[in-house]
Structure 1
Amino acid sequence: MTRIVADISVSLDGYVTGPDPGPDNGLGTGGEPLHHWAFSDDPDDRRLLQSSTTRSGAVVMGRRLFDLVDGPNGWNDDVGYGAEEVGRPAFVVVTGSPPTTMRLTGLDWTFVTTMTEAVGVARQRAQDASTEQGTDLDVVVMGGGATIRSAFDDDLVDVLSLHLAPVVLGGGTPLFTGPRSARTLIQRDVVVTSTATHLTYDVHP
């Protein structure tokens, strides 16, 4: 079964970037520790990253994140989806203005205008990939924060996977804001490593 998995790193005070994120400062000021786990040598971190990447049949992201990964300091031959884990699922970008040019032309990009459409397209791509590979693959909503929050608030998420980094950022991009995000979740898994606490929840409307 194809699940919609929202997967993101977050600080102890609930931010997915530090203050002042931008094209040349994607994680914001002081935000680098959020992703230390993805580049860690801890075997549990590596296992979790590999498992997530392997199960990814399609990936949804917002336009700001696309601009970062497609930018000159973005993904390359050594660092791409899943950090050092090489993955090439279909990528679906939510944007009102598709780019006219792309650097990463070797990846499978689709541009749509709404979150509902993005999840629908990604689900179909993941199901097609599942049939081809003979195994269940998921849709991963990887961010940024506003993209995951939109999918969560629109009841499009089945699983919430948080990588809780041991850092307090004091500001930046919050993961959840406002009453629409209020929800009771079902905790399914907790893995504590040297760099993060990895939390998995089932989400129900």
Structure 2
Amino acid sequence: MSKLRVNAFTLSLDGYGAGPDQTLQHPLGVGGESLHKWLVTTRTFHQMVIGKDGGATGVDDDFAIRSFENVGAYILGRNMFGPIRGEWPDDKWKGWWGDNPPYHVPTFVLTRYKRAPIMMEGGTTFYFVTDGIHSALEQAKAVAGGKDVRIGGGVSTLRQYLQERLIDEMHLAISPVLLGSGENLFAGLDMVKLGYRCTEQVATANALHVTIGRA
């Protein structure tokens, strides 16, 4: 049965998934890049995201590998797709990732503003969903071919799906970094009342990997 998953989503020790003031120069917010040391050093990141050889194997890489397994579609928040706010000024912006994004499956972007789908290299097509999180999930499952749907971020999108108890499984990597401000994943959310519990925890030098599932 198809699941709605979160994988390889990194938080700071104080619960922030991105720093403040996201811009073209700071796509993860100020200080946000410091969260992802555990991921960017892995062989999977080198191969799947930047298309190069090298990178480390081990537990961090094992979690990175798992994040790409059995994924038939993605859901992204608009901030995850890019820094543009309001109406789309034109069709030039096609994401942070160049001509060949790392998704390689249909990817649904939550937004309030209509835009035609964008076909990219490698099998990624971005679809822009203007009628909410439930519609995006329905569309993603319809094209996933029985595979799972993965939420790629960001924090606001995860929070919306958590509040509706729609996420089946969530892998978080807790990085030993303090951000102080930004986008906090759990602020105001009672995860116990929402029906979630910790099902797995593994520590490495660069992160504490935690898996959260339904109770």
Task: Give the alignment's TM-score, normalised by structure 1.
Answer: 0.81
Which consecutive aligned stretches of 4+ in structure 1 deviate over 3 angstroms post-superposition?
70-73, 98-102
Matching residue within 140, 145, 149 for 1:139: 149
The reply on whether 1:75 has 2:75 as its aligned counterpart is no
CA 1:43–1:182: 2 relative to 1, 3 Å: same
Question: Are 2:129 and 1:112 equivalent residues in the alignment?
Answer: yes
SS at match of 1:166: coil
Cα-to-partner distance string for 1:71-93 (whole Å, 9 max, x where unaligned): 58821378x43xxxxx4122011
Gaps of 5+ in 2: 42-55, 84-91
Distance 1:186 1:73, change over 3 A: closer
Question: Take 2:37 and 2:184, find their aligned partners in 1: how far apart are those partners?
Answer: 19
1:168 lines up with 2:178 in the alignment: yes
Q: CA deviation at 1:54?
A: 2.1
Aligned to 2:169: 159
1:24 corresponds to: 25
In the alignment, structure 1 residue 201 sits paired with structure 2 residue 212: yes
Correspondent of 1:183 among 191, 195, 201: 191
Alpha-carbon distance change, 93 to 160 in structure 1, aligned in 2, over 3 angstroms: same
Q: How does 1:52-67 map to 2 (within 5 A)?
A: 52-67=67-82
Q: Would the alpha carbon gap of residues 117 and 100 (structure 1) be closer, same or farther in structure 2, given more than 3 Å must change? A: closer
Give the CA RMSD over aligned residues: 2.3
8 A contact 1:42–1:193 mirrored in 2: no
AA partner of residue 177 (structure 2): V
Contact 1:12 1:164 in 2 (8 A): yes
The SS at the match of 1:187 is strand
Amino acid at match of 1:97: Y
1:93 aligns with 2:94: no
Between Structure 1 and Structure 2, how many residues are aligned? 186
Of the two structures, which has the highest relative contact order with CA contacts closer than 8 Å and spacing of 6 or more?
Answer: 1
- Check 1:95–1:54 CA distance in 2 against 1; reply closer, same or farther (3 A cut): same
Q: Distance in 1 between matches of 2:93 and 2:59?
A: 30
> What does residue 46 of structure 1 align with?
61
Please list every run of 5 or more consecutive structure 1 residues that lacks an aligned counterpart in the other structure. Answer: 82-86, 131-136
Q: Give the superposition deviation at 1:120.
A: 1.2
Q: CA deviation at 1:19?
A: 2.3
Give the structure with the larger helix fraction: 1
Maintained 8 Å contact 1:9/1:35? yes
> How far apart are the structure 2 equivalents of 1:4 and 1:64?
20
* 1:95–1:77 CA distance, 2 compared to 1 (3 A): closer
When the two structures are superposed, what TM-score results if normalisation uses the length of structure 2?
0.77
Counterpart position of 2:4: 4
Secondary structure of 1:57's aligned partner: strand
How far off is 1:199 after superposition? Answer: 0.6
